[in-house]
Amino acid sequence: MSEFDRIAGYSNEKRELNDICKLFRRFDKLSDAGFRLPRGILLAGQPGVGKTVMAEAFIKESGVYCERISFDDTNKILMTEYLDKKFKTAIEHLPAIVLMDELDKFVGDVSNGFNPTYDMNATRKILKVINDNVNDGLIVVATINDERMLSYALKRSGRFDRTLNIPLPDLNDRREIIAHYAKDKKFASNVDFETLAKITAKLSGADIECIINDAGLNAILADRTEINQTDIDDSVNRLMFQASKSSCPDENDSRLVAVHETGHLVAGLVLKKDEVGNASIIPQGDNSGHVKIGPQKNKIKTKSQYLDDIVISLAGKAAEKIFFPDEEYNSTDSDYSSAYFYFRGMLNSGLFGFDLYVSHFRESSGNDISEERLRLIEKKRAEVLDGCLHTAEELLKSNIDLVNKYIEELTDKYTLTHDEIMAIYNQMRPKAA
**Of 107, 141, 165, which residue constitutes the final position of a domain?**
165
Read off the pLDDT of each residue in 51-74 and give the average, rounded to a whole number.
Answer: 85
pLDDT, mean over the chain:
82
Q: Does the residue 125 lie in any domain?
A: yes
Q: Are residues 180 and 212 in the same domain?
A: yes
- Highest-pLDDT range among 141-155, 287-301, 387-401: 387-401
| DSSP calls for 317-369 | HHHHHHH-TT---S--HHHHHHHHHHHHHHHHTTTT-TTS---HHHHHH-TT-
Q: Are residues 43 and 150 in the same domain?
A: yes
Q: Does the residue 386 lie in any domain?
A: yes
Instruction: Specify the DSSP class assigned to residue 290.
Output: E
Q: Does the residue 245 lie in any domain?
A: no
Handedness of CA 23, 29, 31, 35 (dihedral sign): negative
Alpha carbon distance 163, 143 (integer Å): 10
Read off φ and ψ for residue 149, nearest 5 degrees.
-85, 10
Q: Are residues 67 and 192 in the same domain?
A: no
Confidence (pLDDT) at 83: 85
Q: How many domains does the chain have?
A: 3
Cα–Cα nearest to 168, from 32, 277, 313:
277
Residue pLDDT, tens place only, 364-407: 334 455 677 778 888 888 999 999 999 999 999 999 999 999 99
Report the amino acid identity of residue 190. Answer: N
Q: Does the residue 433 lie in any domain?
A: no
Q: Are residues 256 and 235 in the same domain?
A: no
Q: Are residues 176 and 161 in the same domain?
A: no
Q: Does the residue 368 lie in any domain?
A: yes
Report pTM: 0.59
User: Angle 205-221/171-182 helices, nearest 10 degrees?
Assistant: 40
Q: Are residues 28 and 141 in the same domain?
A: yes
**pLDDT higher than 60, residue 285:** no
CATH assignment at residue 81: 3.40.50.300
Q: Are residues 136 and 188 in the same domain?
A: no
**Of 165, 188, 209, which residue constitutes the final position of a domain?**
165
Q: Does the residue 289 lie in any domain?
A: yes
Q: Does the residue 311 lie in any domain?
A: yes
Q: Are residues 226 and 263 in the same domain?
A: no
Q: Does the residue 193 lie in any domain?
A: yes
Read off the pLDDT of each residue in 324-329 and give the average, rounded to a whole number.
Answer: 82
CATH assignment at residue 186: 1.10.8.60
Residue pLDDT, tens place only, 87-112: 899 999 888 899 988 887 777 765 54
CATH assignment at residue 388: 1.20.58.760
Instruction: Specify the DSSP class assigned to residue 430.
Output: -
Q: Are residues 55 and 106 in the same domain?
A: yes
Alpha carbon distance 253, 30 (integer Å): 59
**Of 179, 211, 240, which residue constitutes the final position of a domain?**
240
Q: Are residues 47 and 153 in the same domain?
A: yes
Q: Calculate the CA 94 to chain-centre distance.
A: 38
Residue 113 binned pLDDT confidence (cut-offs 50, 70, 90): very low
Confidence (pLDDT) at 432: 60
Domain coverage including residue 298: 251-428
Q: Are residues 187 and 156 in the same domain?
A: no
Q: Are residues 46 and 82 in the same domain?
A: yes
Alpha carbon distance 394, 433 (integer Å): 5
**Residue 188 backbone class (left: φ over 0; alpha: ψ -120 to 50; beta: rest):** beta
Residue pLDDT, tens place only, 257-283: 999 999 999 999 999 888 888 888 877
